[in-house]
Structure 1
Amino acid sequence: MKKVGEPAPKTRLLRAAAALLAESNGEPVSTRQITEAARVSAPTLYHHFGDKEGLFDAVVAEGFSEYLDGERSLPTSGQPIEDLRMHWDNHVQFGLDHPHLYLVMFGNIRPERRPSMVASAEAFLEEVLARAAEAARLVVSPHEAARSMLAANIGVTLMLIAEPAAKRNLELSAMTREAVISAVATDSEADPVTDTEGTPSVVVAAIALNAALQSSHPDQLSSSELKLFLEWLQRISSRSGS
């Protein structure tokens, strides 16, 4: 019988599954464990999710939807590098606020198998970084920058989750954030086209033009001309060619 103020059975199943998955250390989680933790019967699980795997899929999808909604709701400051800092901090805070959910989303890594949530989070971050590229603030492509930033962001968040709350040092996050930003972006106070940190100005300019063309789809060029031009810009933007 449902207690007054108690979440609905579907919500209890989602929460129980997320907690059990996070605490499983890679071991299988049974239907019985989930239903006992959620205080529901197996038919209730089947009614809402079809089977156990359907429940697990729903846990990950709901967690990522909540995370992405939070990311998309952040205001744009008009300063691309500040926006990157804001998204980084929001990512860390989401993990600390929802540790079990975060571990299900980003912590269940298997060799040679990339979680779909990681790819989706990376795609969103690449959108944010494209704005920095258009402002001539990136020294690598948005794709390369997104992979670097997300890898570091996830690593820091997992490390902070593993620490006792009373001993967490959030300066670790800030230090790592600034180190990654300095590796992929130009100093916001410097002239982006005359970069002083060792990246040729032509590379920074090519990255900016590449991002601008992909977002604006200019009609002055045919599709084949645009494709060829973007290929040239990609070659110039590549670090290996700098």
Structure 2
Amino acid sequence: MTEAPAIDTRAETRTRIVEAAATLLREHGPAAVTTRRVAETAGVQAPTIYRLLGDKDGLLEAVAEHVMATFVSAKAAIVEAASAQNVDPLDDLHAGWQSQIEFGLANPALFRLLSDPSRINASPAAASGRHVLESRVHRIAEAGRLRVSEQRAVGLIQAAGSGAIQTMLTTPPEQQDAALADAVYEAVLAQILTDAPAPADSRRLAATVAFRAIVPSLDVLSEAEQNLMLDWLDRVQRAL
């Protein structure tokens, strides 16, 4: 007796629709993400898309979240492996920078979609992506190499990466500077990393940032004591 074909669950159908839309967006641009084409590619009826995802904006939001979540998951695994294998934190940060630039340039439509502040602010995947960058920067702080706060370093790296991608995407191919992203990256490092030998204030700030990075792991202190120590160190950072 032949078994009846399996019936997709609601979640499986939604995933198939989102993946189909992501493929159309990546290969043909936003204009290709129509309800009809997505339905044909996913092998569903158009009303199914409306029922599961609402209008086209809802579909695009789901695509953005799906793509970002997949990309961030891969980055998080790399950061975890780098930490476990004691990879140089600067090498790990550079690898993350390169992957972000390559992703943005290879997926211009997705990059613009993912750069929409209204989507990023409410995106769990975007928050996870920032956490991955924070983890990379935290490892540099633990090594005593930061001369700015971790928060400022993360902000500078994010701003520089998005700006570099946006600039390259809006520059005609014949005018593009292939070394632009590397130059921007080096400029950011010059702003956030300590030099040797460093001025006394820079050494104090680097030591403060490094100590702040390890405070949460000091189990000998209570949570209240750790919070108090973090507050003191934040005040020192602001004063230097």
Contact 1:17 1:55 in 2 (8 A): no
Deviations 1:79-114 (A, max 9, x none): 2222221111110001112211111001x246xx95
Please give the TM-score of this superposition, normalised by the length of structure 1.
Answer: 0.75
Q: Which secondary structure state, in structure 2, belongs to the residue aligned with residue 233 of structure 1?
A: helix
Which residue number corresponds to residue 7 of structure 2? none
Q: Distance in 2 between matches of 1:166 and 1:177?
A: 22
Q: Distance in 1 between matches of 2:175 and 2:75?
A: 27
Q: Which amino acid aligns with 2:72?
A: L
Which residue number corresponds to residue 195 of structure 1? 198
Q: Distance in 2 between matches of 1:151 and 1:120?
A: 17
2:173 is aligned with 1:170:
no
Offset, 1:47: 4.8
Which residue number corresponds to residue 89 of structure 2? 80
Contact 1:13 1:35 in 2 (8 A): no
Q: Percent identity?
A: 28
Q: CA RMSD in A?
A: 2.9
The total of aligned residue pairs comes to 214
Q: Which secondary structure state, in structure 2, belongs to the residue aligned with residue 93 of structure 1?
A: helix
Summarize the Cα distance change of 1:20–1:45 in structure 2 as closer, same or farther, 3 Å threshold: farther
Q: Distance in 2 between matches of 1:119 and 1:21?
A: 25
Which residue number corresponds to residue 93 of structure 1? 102
Q: Which runs of 5+ in 2 are unaligned?
A: 1-15
Please give the TM-score of this superposition, normalised by the length of structure 2.
Answer: 0.76
Offset, 1:118: 5.0
Contact 1:139 1:185 in 2 (8 A): yes
Q: Which of 148, 157, 163 matches 1:149?
A: 157
Offset, 1:209: 0.5
2:66 is aligned with 1:66:
no
Q: Which amino acid aligns with 1:227?
A: N
Higher helix share: 2
Contact 1:22 1:103 in 2 (8 A): no
Offset, 1:44: 3.6
Contact 1:22 1:100 in 2 (8 A): yes
Q: Which secondary structure state, in structure 1, belongs to the residue aligned with residue 34 of structure 2?
A: helix
Q: Which of 209, 225, 242 matches 2:211?
A: 209
